[in-house]
């Protein structure tokens, strides 16, 4: 009898968890409060303990923020677990960067195509601003090799690609890209080393990004996709050059 009750309770928790997940993703704006535990218990016809367990599961998934003495607050997951996995792959297996490039090839070609179709003026400004940040950092790096300037360059480079994902208007693409931010920044350092070994400078990177931006601005989906593909294929060659270079 006890086992049966436990099974029923587990089923109730799963049912409430699924229903609340659907509500959070379709009905509740980020940062808004959900109904109280008592209200949710009444709505679903379950105990407050069942509701509390369901909310703990949702908190673990990053869908709600829980705090003592206040109602749960809706939020979107931040993809940190996926990002940590990607970072570990790159850290412990340098060739894992090629797996990351393959994923980027699929996600970023799709996102840049959608961005060319859907981009708003604010979205375009965000992409332009990130590229300008790269342009501003480039002469400092070329003149002094300043490590902070290089960090800024890669930071804006990541921001450029993130802004394109956001401009796509696709929440899933944006979420997946946000999960890749830290691993991407690490891979960009490797890419730059390989670019130098291949006799190319930062101006080549800037030119590739400018082509992508111009295609988005023109609303040319096919050209934007081709420009992104060419850029990522070039980045893959850069990283291969860096990995295969003899250790000094």
Would you state the pLDDT for residue 8?
46
As a whole number of angstroms, the distance between CA 13 and CA 230 comes to 49
**Residues 35-38: contacts with CB within 8 Å, 24+ apart?**
35/71, 36/71
Q: Which residue has the tokens 């979205």?
A: 123
pLDDT in tens, 57-108: 888 877 888 887 788 888 766 666 666 667 776 776 767 788 888 889 999 9
As a whole number of angstroms, the distance between CA 213 and CA 45 comes to 53
Report which of residues 209 and 20 the model is more confident about.
209
CB 110 within 8 A of CB 168: yes
Mean pLDDT for 157-185 is 90
Lowest-confidence segment of 28-37, 77-86, 172-181, 204-213 by average pLDDT = 77-86
**Residue 62 DSSP class:** T
The residue ranges of every structural domain in the chain are: 2-74, 80-244
CATH of 2-74, one of 3.40.50.300, 1.50.40.10, 1.10.10.10, 1.10.260.40: 1.10.10.10
pLDDT in tens, 27-43: 777 778 888 889 999 99
* pLDDT tier for residue 181 given thresholds of 50, 70 and 90: confident
Report which of residues 96 and 15 the model is more confident about.
15
Mean pLDDT for 180-184 is 84
Mutual angle of helices 171-179 and 147-167, in 10-degree steps: 160
**Residue 50 DSSP class:** H
pLDDT in tens, 113-167: 999 999 999 999 999 999 999 999 999 999 999 999 999 999 999 999 999 999 9
As a whole number of angstroms, the distance between CA 46 and CA 24 comes to 19
Positive or negative torsion for Cα 243, 237, 95, 170: positive
Identify the three-state secondary structure at position 233.
helix
pLDDT at 192 over 70: yes
Percentage of the chain beyond pLDDT 70 is 88
- Whose CA is closest to 190, among 236, 129, 121, 140? 236
CATH of domain 80-244: 1.20.120.530
Q: Which residue has the tokens 């295969």?
A: 244
């Amino acid at each position: 009898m006890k086992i049966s009750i436990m099974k029923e309770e587990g089923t109730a928790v799963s049912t409430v968890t699924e229903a609340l997940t659907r509500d959070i993703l379709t009905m509740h704006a980020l940062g808004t409060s959900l109904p109280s535990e008592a209200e949710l218990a009444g709505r679903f016809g379950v105990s407050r303990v069942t509701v509390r367990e369901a909310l703990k599961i949702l908190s673990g998934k990053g869908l709600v923020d829980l705090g003592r003495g206040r109602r749960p607050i809706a939020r979107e997951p931040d993809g940190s677990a996926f990002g940590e996995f990607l970072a570990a792959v790159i850290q412990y297996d340098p060739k894992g960067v090629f797996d990351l490039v393959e994923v980027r090839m699929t996600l970023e070609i799709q996102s840049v195509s959608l961005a060319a179709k859907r981009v708003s003026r604010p979205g375009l400004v965000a992409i332009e601003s990130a590229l300008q940040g790269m342009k501003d950092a480039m002469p400092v790096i070329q003149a002094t090799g300043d490590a902070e300037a290089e960090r800024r360059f890669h930071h804006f480079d990541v921001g450029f690609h993130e802004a394109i994902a956001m401009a796509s208007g696709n929440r899933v693409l944006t979420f997946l890209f946000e999960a890749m931010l830290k691993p991407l920044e690490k891979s960009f350092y490797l890419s730059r080393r390989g670019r130098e070994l291949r006799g190319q400078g930062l101006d080549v990177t800037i030119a590739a990004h400018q082509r992508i931006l111009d295609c988005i601005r023109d609303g040319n989906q096919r050209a934007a996709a081709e420009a992104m593909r060419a850029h990522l294929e070039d980045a893959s060659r850069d990283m291969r050059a860096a990995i295969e270079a003899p250790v000094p």
